[in-house]
Structure 1
């Protein structure tokens, strides 16, 4: 019997399992499909809220802590596994419309570098036409030069390999059907044809977390939100920075791949891709990067992100079930928040001091609601 069963082997579950293994615990992960192939694979890997000034301090505090861990974390994973997660600082270029006063104020208050750039005219040579300027222009973009990205499918692969290297047990294609609870304690979990037991349990099942909790979800609000994305391939990297306009973005990979995302659709657990979404994403992308007008996307996919009110995840002990913990509800920022979330949950389990006040991440139970 393992010390811990982690339900869900996306990047959040894998990161949590890795930290516990590093502490000397024995860990079994249960994954309903394949490791890292739900929201962890479907997202883009931008290591920042899309516009941080639009998010509450609770979100930005966890993001800031988490991204501070990323350089050393990904370097160690790459060294141990031979899989490069491709963490690198690339910058985030924010195109109009946006609230300039809010952006400038937030960046000044948080010592975040910000520069203005002239929004380029319609051109097939985007990267060569961007000009830096020092004051506000009518049609300008904002550059956050310190924003990084990571290639999330490779991060999942590296985490999976490292978990196995440290003795973690991963069971794929295994759906958790029920928590078996006696006297306010999880005694086992029900999977097809049998029960599995551990001393303690961690729920990191993303959009499926509330379903698994069942009656023990209380008033927690985690629901699936679909995001559709497109993938293109250039012979060389088409952009230097991630480009963002409102909720849509272009993410350039080092090998010339370009991700275009993402829709935000409240359609339950429906993962079907649509022509409407494809047209919306491709039309916007061609407007921003005209080279795409002569290209067709290589792939079109969707993923289900675990949405919560205010984008604030639920991290910590269940208020009633004494051996159950939750690390879920990170919405669009599971990859961004992964190492930080794993760290603060491990601190709670090990009864260690936290780097900051983590009680806001335990308010999702909304017991008074």
Structure 2
């Protein structure tokens, strides 16, 4: 198959699909190439949080970017739902705030101090979080039984959640509705620079001629970016999640390690393991996740686990996203593809097109790692 497009996005996960969506809605032709089925994937194993609190220690620009993304999520979700004709609310996007539970008085004070440090790094731009005690949690969620060790929580009104699988599926449908082409199982094998303004991408089943290549292939972005003359140092981090049987809705707010979905199941997560590309699950991790969950609420003590999965997060050296640009190529990599989706469909695309100065994303250029050594 031979294709031609203004832009070719390598990677059909949430990051790549959001970028493609943003390019298409601005009138550009786009081909999206999804890799081999054996490639590591993060979008299919995501906790679904749209999260602000606690992110960006040492990187105040990331704290601000995350808040901009969160504020853009209501319009982003509504636009996607409108494009695909979803009137049932299947994305299950909610922005009612979120919690990070604390244990004991020392844990409460430690969390308070952490958020104060982040606030001081970010500068005085108003507070979107507060520390709440145990009784205030119960007022917010009167049917949710708290474990004896829970002393309180941090609450951020900007936090929320979404169904990540429904979001991903809706993005892919939106791309097709706008006339984009998605090629699955189309791993790029060679990338050739034809001249100053075009590339040829080849795989076993496809050849694409394009003016600009966007590398957004998760952990595969590093290798692809190198071929494009860009720099994206990323590494894998395994996260394991367990899922409970369905229960009556009692948890109205998501938490950083526990949330109840719209269908009543509880998601319990997630481990942070540096094990290379090993995507296996372990009973030891499941046991630790279960203990953490029952420490938060004894309601889960006798509940059945119906699923246990793992996925590989895309991690950068400082935890903040990486954005790199040239005239005919660009790259995006991050571990918060859900939260930053509005940024990728709007600000990243505007910088890529030259409609906004790239200095707005300059703090996320990979040169920051070279200057730090």
TM-score class, shorter: 0.7 to 0.9
Task: Give the corresponding residue for 2:49.
Answer: 46
Distance 2:238 2:279 in 1: 7
| TM-score under structure 2 length normalisation | 0.84
Seen in structure 2, the aligned counterparts of structure 1 residues 275 and 159 have a Cα distance that, compared at 3 Å, is: same
Task: Give the corresponding residue for 2:98.
Answer: 92
Seen in structure 2, the aligned counterparts of structure 1 residues 316 and 139 have a Cα distance that, compared at 3 Å, is: same
Query: Alpha-carbon deviation of 1:105?
Result: 6.1
Name which of 250, 258, 278 aligns with 1:250. Answer: 258
The answer to whether the aligner puts 1:324 opposite 2:336 as a matched pair is: no
**Counterpart secondary structure, 1:272:** coil
Contact in 1 for aligned 2:322/2:332 (Cα 8 Å):
yes
Name which of 20, 30, 44 aligns with 1:17. Answer: 20
Seen in structure 2, the aligned counterparts of structure 1 residues 185 and 351 have a Cα distance that, compared at 3 Å, is: closer
Distance 1:23 1:218 in 2: 25
State the number of aligned residues: 350
Distance 2:227 2:175 in 1: 31
Task: Give the corresponding residue for 1:63.
Answer: 66
Name which of 309, 314, 319 aligns with 1:301. Answer: 309
Q: Deviation per CA, 1:8-44: give whole Å up to 9, x if none.
A: 011111111011111111101011157x993122111
Task: Give the corresponding residue for 1:274.
Answer: 282
RMSD: 2.9
| TM-score under structure 1 length normalisation | 0.85
Task: Give the corresponding residue for 1:207.
Answer: 219
**Counterpart secondary structure, 2:339:** helix
The 10-residue stretch of structure 1 (4-13 or 217-226) with the greater mean CA deviation from structure 2: 217-226
Seen in structure 2, the aligned counterparts of structure 1 residues 288 and 160 have a Cα distance that, compared at 3 Å, is: same
Q: Map residues 283-362 of structure 1 onto 2, 5 A cutoff.
A: 283-318=291-326, 322-328=327-333, 330-331=334-335, 333-354=336-357, 357-362=360-365
Task: Give the corresponding residue for 1:225.
Answer: 237
Query: Alpha-carbon deviation of 1:231?
Result: 1.1
Name which of 83, 101, 105 aligns with 2:113. Answer: 101
Seen in structure 2, the aligned counterparts of structure 1 residues 268 and 178 have a Cα distance that, compared at 3 Å, is: farther
Contact in 1 for aligned 2:10/2:16 (Cα 8 Å):
yes
Task: Give the corresponding residue for 2:154.
Answer: 142
Seen in structure 2, the aligned counterparts of structure 1 residues 130 and 119 have a Cα distance that, compared at 3 Å, is: farther
Distance 2:68 2:359 in 1: 9
Seen in structure 2, the aligned counterparts of structure 1 residues 364 and 297 have a Cα distance that, compared at 3 Å, is: farther
**Counterpart secondary structure, 1:142:** strand
The answer to whether the aligner puts 1:110 opposite 2:125 as a matched pair is: yes
Distance 1:57 1:24 in 2: 34
Unaligned runs of 5+ in 1: 132-137
Q: Map residues 149-160 of structure 1 onto 2, 5 A cutoff.
A: 149-160=161-172
Seen in structure 2, the aligned counterparts of structure 1 residues 194 and 116 have a Cα distance that, compared at 3 Å, is: closer
